[in-house]
């Protein structure tokens, strides 16, 4: 009797194990079919593979298995939940980043590591003499091309968070040498040219003694940091436009609240766990500049990353501007736009002469993220043919 019972228990246990194994295998399929898991998808900064069409022709059938495998890998059931669980284990228990694009810093700081950003921070690859001369020629040619059209040219470098908060960067990211590519470029320009680049590191490092100027979980500065950048830009422009004065911080109400983590926490799928302090500057008087239609149409691919943002002020006596920019400019757009009758913000690292000629600005402000200096954006051109050549990498 005992043997029969023991045998029955073993059979039951085996059956339960088989059933459990089958359930585990089938649950992702069931979830994919009926959608029972509503976990928010983590931000992956890429397009997930779409379900491939199945047609009964040789060309489609030949590549279908690979395309379907890519689709299933990106869309299997409970994928979002499993990714988030995996990331929590790595961050909380193993103190390791699950994303190659995010570095876990000290004191809750996250750092962007994509695009060789950490290699730039470590100064592992200085600019060569040829590259420095190439930058000088490109910047002077652009300045001269604009001057011939009655416009000024201001280049502004938006510092990486690593440059403003190096104290929270993990010690394993040792600096090979102290001088960064930006330090090299500033020194070379100072020694060989009268072209001045606006370096924002000084005022931002000074301002951080009073308050945070970058988001702990974001690549970029917060509103306070953006206001520091804006003030430095306007103060520099006041040498060309004497009536231009930045609005002081006292013109704004500072609001802060605890909220979900921002872009780097989202890349980890942990924005609900790694939170941040959201800082906003609200003007105490209404802003006058308003977003308007650019007034011209171009195919989307000609805009580069995103269509232009054009802001217009009711005071037509104010100067006009074009701002060549990246994501760092987003936060200072509301501040800066108050000083121009019309300002077009174009997201690009090149020098779009066609757009500049179309806008006929009094000044071109070129905001460049410091980290892109590890790449070569300084394509030299022949000024005689510049209007036919968009200076894009």
Q: What is the pLDDT of residues 285-325, one digit of tens each?
A: 999 999 998 887 554 445 455 788 999 999 999 999 999 99
Q: How high is the mean pLDDT of the chain? A: 84
Q: Average pLDDT in the 42-48 region?
A: 60
Of the candidate ranges 104-108, 227-231, 234-238, 379-383, the one whose mean pLDDT is the lowest:
379-383
The span from the CA of 338 to the CA of 229, in Å, is: 15
pLDDT at 382 over 50: no
Compute how many other C-beta atoms are within 10 angstroms of the C-beta atom of residue 294. 17
Predicted local confidence at residue 49, as pLDDT: 62
Phi and psi at residue 126, to the nearest 5°: -65, 160
Q: Which residue has the higher pLDDT, 69 or 219?
A: 219
List pLDDT tens digits, range 191-203. 999 999 999 999 9
378 pLDDT tier (thresholds 50, 70, 90): low
pLDDT in tens, 69-121: 666 565 555 566 666 766 776 777 767 788 889 999 999 999 999 888 999 99
Q: Which two tokens stand for residue 213?
A: 């100027």
Q: What band does 386 get if pLDDT is binned at 50, 70 and 90?
A: very low
Prediction pTM value: 0.80
Q: Is the pLDDT of residue 375 over 70?
A: yes
Mean pLDDT of 362-382: 77
Query: Which residues have a Cβ under 8 Å from the Cβ of 268 and sit 6 or more positions away?
Result: 42, 87, 91, 97, 98, 99, 102, 110, 261, 274
Q: Which pLDDT score, from 0 to 100, does residue 95 have? A: 78
The residues spanned by each domain of the chain are: 12-78, 103-388
Q: Which residues contact 188 (CB under 8 A, 6 or more apart)?
A: 127, 132, 133, 135, 136
């Amino acid at each position: 009797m005992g043997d029969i019972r023991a045998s029955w228990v073993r059979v039951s246990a085996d059956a339960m194990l088989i059933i459990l194994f089958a359930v585990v295998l089938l649950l992702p399929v069931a979830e994919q079919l009926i959608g029972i898991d509503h976990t928010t998808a983590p931000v992956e900064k890429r397009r997930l593979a779409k379900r491939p069409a199945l047609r009964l022709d040789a060309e489609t059938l030949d590549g279908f298995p690979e395309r379907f495998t890519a689709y299933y890998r990106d869309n299997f059931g409970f994928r979002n939940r499993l990714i988030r669980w995996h990331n929590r284990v790595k961050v909380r228990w193993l103190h390791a980043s699950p994303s190659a694009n995010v570095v876990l810093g000290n004191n809750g700081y996250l750092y962007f590591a994509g695009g060789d950003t950490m290699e730039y921070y470590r100064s592992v690859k200085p600019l060569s003499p040829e590259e420095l001369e190439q930058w000088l020629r490109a910047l002077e040619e652009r300045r001269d091309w604009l001057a011939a059209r009655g416009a000024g040219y201001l280049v502004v470098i938006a510092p990486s968070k690593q440059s403003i908060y190096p104290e929270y960067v993990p010690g394993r990211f040792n600096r090979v040498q102290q001088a960064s590519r930006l330090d090299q470029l500033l020194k070379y320009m100072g020694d060989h040219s009268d072209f001045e680049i606006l370096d924002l590191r000084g005022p931002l490092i000074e301002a951080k003694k009073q308050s945070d100027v970058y988001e702990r979980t974001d690549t970029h500065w917060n509103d306070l940091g953006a206001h520091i950048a804006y003030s430095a830009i306007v103060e520099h422009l006041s040498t060309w436009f004497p009536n231009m004065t930045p609005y002081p911080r006292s013109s704004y109400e500072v609001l802060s609240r605890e909220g979900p983590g921002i872009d780097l926490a989202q890349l980890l799928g942990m924005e609900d766990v790694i939170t941040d302090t959201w800082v906003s500057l609200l003007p105490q008087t209404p802003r006058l500049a308003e977003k308007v239609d650019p007034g011209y149409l171009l195919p989307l691919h000609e805009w580069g990353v995103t269509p232009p943002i054009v802001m217009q002020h009711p005071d037509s006596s104010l100067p006009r501007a074009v701002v060549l920019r990246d994501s760092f400019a987003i936060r200072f757009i509301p501040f800066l736009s108050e000083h121009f009758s019309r300002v077009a913000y174009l997201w690009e690292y090149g020098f779009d002469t066609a757009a500049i000629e179309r806008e006929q600005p009094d000044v071109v402000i070129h905001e460049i993220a410091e980290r892109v200096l590890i790449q070569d954006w300084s394509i030299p051109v022949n000024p005689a043919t510049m209007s036919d050549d968009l200076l894009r990498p």
